[in-house]
Amino acid sequence: MTADAVIIGSGPGGATAAEVLTRAGWSVVVMEKGRNHLLDPDDLTRPSGDYSNDEIKFISRHFLGPDPLIEPRAFRRSADEGEHTHVGEVNSIPTTVGGGGTHADGKVPRFREEDFRLRSVLGPQDGALVDDWPLDYEGLEPYYAEVERVVGVAGRAGANPFAAWRSGPFPMPPGPPMYGAVLSSAAAERMGLHPYEAPTAANSVAYDGRPACNNCGFCAFFGCPIHAKGDPVALLTRAMATGRVELRPETYVSRIVVEGRKATGVEYIGRDGVARTMSARVVIVAGGAVETPRILLLSGLEHPLLGRTLMVHFQTIVVGHFPDKRLHPHKGRAVTHVHDDAMIQDDAARRAAADAGLPWIRGGMVEHSGGGLPIMEARHTPWGSRHGQAMRESNLRERMWAFIMQGEDLPYLTNTVDLSPSVRDARGFPVARVTYEPGHHELAASKHHGKILQSVLEEMGAEWVMHTSSPGVSYHGVGATPVPDSRHVMGTARMGDDPATSVVDRWGRVHGLDNVVVADSSVFVTSSGYGPTLTLVALAARAAHHLAGTSPEARRDPG
């Protein structure tokens, strides 16, 4: 069988490519190495009912994968540390039908105009490949609008004073706010900041045949039991409904087969453990920004920038304790409010940059977020006669509030994904090795904006506050791990017009190959401080429309 396209990975990027191409009449095979817990095996046009509010299942037992014993990654901070210092979870994103989209709490802001033109707007930084993208916001806007409608995004146009222009309203109004976020937003406003309702890929009203979110409180790190989250279930079910896509879960693509300038198909290991080859006119790689360079390297592709300039969002985490308040973090969509002020250049940020000897610093979107989950709290509450009482008081959950800043990570050549020389996965293939260390810019931005976030929590009434980061850095003390925990990964196959300074072209096509296209956040040139998913989905839609010769639809009923 020769398909029009084989897509590697069924996460938000791969699902988007499948939706656009099948709509254009292409035959598509989606190969996904993880299990299918998203779509009903008896009717793949409908979501299944495998998800639940179960912390042990999702967090301890790796229900959506990857199991770090079976599919580990290797990690080191720098080449000076030798082969690796850690093997296990590193920036892990679920490996399952739907990829990380099923697990995420789905805050899906658009980037702003300057995010695509950082070098022109702010200028270079020593040691980092800060460049403009080969496209601009203007060109991506119709794709943003299309994917917001297909996925279903709730939000309020005009709520964020810093947002880029948009051609239309959000498809849905925002859902109800979390109680803690009402208080932290009020405190942030009193401090002169501009919190707003986070654009979220969770239904605030019934939409696209799926119900409204009931604010169950188990959103980040869990699949949605009622499928109120649209990304990527909306895309996959629409693609399935065309009858032109075959989904193959538990199918690991080990190599893209290349002859001259063309890929002829892929080698894969199916559910039965047997290695086979499949031919396709086009190969679309959407394994995520760690697995995509791994596949390309396993396929023998060579480019000096392949796997380099890995960006993960340097996370600044500021936590406050409120002994006299119950903040009800157990209700809501994990994060309902955010603010962007840390990405805006003001006098204080300019002074902090100058003090650090840098031309500029940029933080990232700040998420207003609750404390831990019940089992997490129990594990951190000492056992014994006081345990029950301490759990009822719930100091680590009900009485905590936090800010998480997804800080812009600069593209350093030294932060990379390559193949581990010694660690192999259960199938026998070299695993991805992440080499990552935050630079001077990330630490300076975190220090400056962390202090501002601490004062907001104090304004909100916190008795004490603390400031940490992921990855931890040495001055944060005992227990800080250098392994990054961020689930935002980007930049390992950057796009550009010049094959000498980029791995893929402006349409995601690998330079030097006519029919291999990357459709995930590997192609990002810079990381912005916004979650990557809506932008990678808009880029995947753009790449797929380009392949099919179609255009984003100006208006479309979600179905």
Ligand X SMILES: Cc1cc2nc3c(=O)[nH]c(=O)nc-3n(C[C@H](O)[C@H](O)[C@H](O)COP(=O)(O)OP(=O)(O)OC[C@H]3O[C@@H](n4cnc5c(N)ncnc54)[C@H](O)[C@@H]3O)c2cc1C
313 binds, among ligand SF4, ligand X, none (CB under 5 to 8 A by kind): none
What is each CA distance from 353 to 248, 445, 449, in whole angstroms?
49, 8, 11
Q: E strands within 408-454?
A: 416-424, 430-435
Q: Which is nearer to ligand SF4, 182 or 226 (by Cβ)?
A: 226
Nearest residue to 16 (alpha-carbon basis) of 522, 552, 559, 502: 552
Report the relative pairing of strands 252-259 and 400-407 from DSSP bridges.
unpaired
Q: Is 146 in the site for ligand X (CB under 6 A)?
A: no
Residue choice 29, 147, 219, 431 for contact with ligand SF4 (CB under 6 A): 219
The CB density around residue 57, as the number of other CB atoms within 10 Å, is 16
Among 204, 446, 521, 527, which residue interacts with ligand X (rule: CB under 6 A)?
521
* Residue 257 contacts ligand SF4 per CB under 6 A: no
55 binding ligand X? (CB under 6 A): no
* Shorter beta-carbon distance to ligand X: residue 280 or 286: 286
Does residue 261 contact residue 512 with C-beta atoms inside 8 Å?
yes
Site string for ligand X, 81-110 (x = CB under 6 A): ------------x-xx--xxx-xxxxxx--
Is 448 among the residues that bind ligand X (CB under 6 A)? Answer: no
Rule CB under 6 A: is residue 218 a binding residue for ligand SF4?
A: yes
CB of 219 to ligand X, least distance (A): 9
Specify whether the CB–CB gap between 470 and 315 falls below 8 A: yes
**Considering beta carbons, is residue 33 or 37 the nearer one to ligand X?**
33
Taking CB under 6 A as the criterion, the residue among 6, 31, 151, 310 binding ligand X is 31
Judged by beta carbon, residue 293 or residue 438, the one nearer ligand X is: 293
- Choose from ligand SF4, ligand X, none: what does 11 bind? Cβ within 5-8 Å by kind: ligand X
Query: Judged by CB, which is closer to ligand X: 108, or 443?
Result: 108
The Cα 333–Cα 352 span in angstroms is 34
99 binds, among ligand X, ligand SF4, none (CB under 5 to 8 A by kind): ligand X
**Residue 207 binds ligand SF4, judged by CB under 6 A:** no
- What's the CA angle centered on 450, arms 449 and 455, to 5 degrees? 100
Query: In 3D, which of 231, 225, 283, 226 has the Cα closest to residue 253?
Result: 283
Site residue total, ligand SF4 (CB under 6 A):
13
In Å, how far are 311, 320, 361, 474 from 466, measured between CA atoms? 25, 7, 22, 15
SS3 content of the chain, % helix, strand, coil (to 5): 25, 25, 50
How many binding residues for ligand X (CB under 6 A)? 40
Tokens of 249: 């879960």
Chain residues binding ligand X by CB under 6 A are 8-14, 31-34, 93, 95-96, 99-101, 103-108, 220-221, 252-253, 286-288, 291, 295, 487-488, 520-521, 531-533, 536
